[in-house]
Structure 1
Amino acid sequence: MHNDTGVRGNSRAGGSSSSWYEAMSRAWGQTLDQQATKITELSNVIGQGGDQPSNVVQLTAESLRMQFLSNNASTSQNSVGQALETLGRKQ
């Protein structure tokens, strides 16, 4: 599959060729999934009686990290999308 700039990404094992923009999206998705898993695990620890202050502080820190990652994923996706749109209009 080609994007507006005609750039073709490499083929991945078990997947089809895709643009680097799609690869970036997948990478952000995987990163956010991993962070969500950390938060879920810490929440489960706290929910099962492990509500020591250190666990609560760690959960808070991981939640803030999730917010940071989510904001950066959105910003990078929007910035790259706008740049691709601009390139598409100039061609």
Structure 2
Amino acid sequence: MRGGSSAGDRGSWYEAMSRAWGQTLDSQAAVITDMSASIGAGDDQPSSMVQLTAASLKMQFMSNNASTSQNSVGQALETLGKRG
């Protein structure tokens, strides 16, 4: 990565961050889907249900952080754009 950035680099960097968040959330969603399928197939033990709840809460936490970080970076980029 270069030391400086231009207006074009900001978009690419922001898009890269968005893709990374998307991949992370997709991965966690796959974990939840697999756990749900296992429970639906008969593994409805309390421990499995607790693990699914924990995975779902982790997804919620990650989703909230993705939204917050994207909003913060977007606002910062908007502020920089107004200065230039």
| TM-score, L = length of structure 1 | 0.82
Name the structure 2 match of 1:25: 18
Amino acid corresponding to residue 9 of structure 2 in structure 1: R
The residue type equivalent to 2:57 in the other structure is L
1:56 alignment partner in structure 2? 49
Higher helix share: 2
> Aligned equivalents of 1:6 and 1:42: distance in 2?
43
Aligned length: 79
One-letter identity of the residue aligned with 2:33: T
Shift of 1:7: 4.5
Aligned to 2:69: 76
Amino acid at match of 1:24: M
Q: What is residue 81 of structure 2 aligned with on the other side?
A: 88
Identify unmatched segments of 5+ residues in structure 1: 10-17
RMSD, matched Cα:
1.4
In 2, the alpha carbon distance for the partners of 1:89 and 1:8 equals 16
Distance (whole Å) between structure 1 residues aligned to residue 8 and residue 14 of structure 2? 9
1:83: Cα distance to partner?
A: 0.2
Percent identity (aligned): 71
Q: Deviations over 1:48-76 (max 9, x none)?
A: 00000111000000000000000000000
Higher relative contact order by CA 8 Å / sep ≥ 6: 1 or 2? 2
Question: Which residue in 2 is equivalent to 1:45?
Answer: 38
Instruction: Give the aligned residue type for 1:25.
Output: S
Runs of 4+ in 1 over 3 A off after TM superposition: none
The alpha-carbon deviation at position 8 of structure 1 amounts to: 2.4
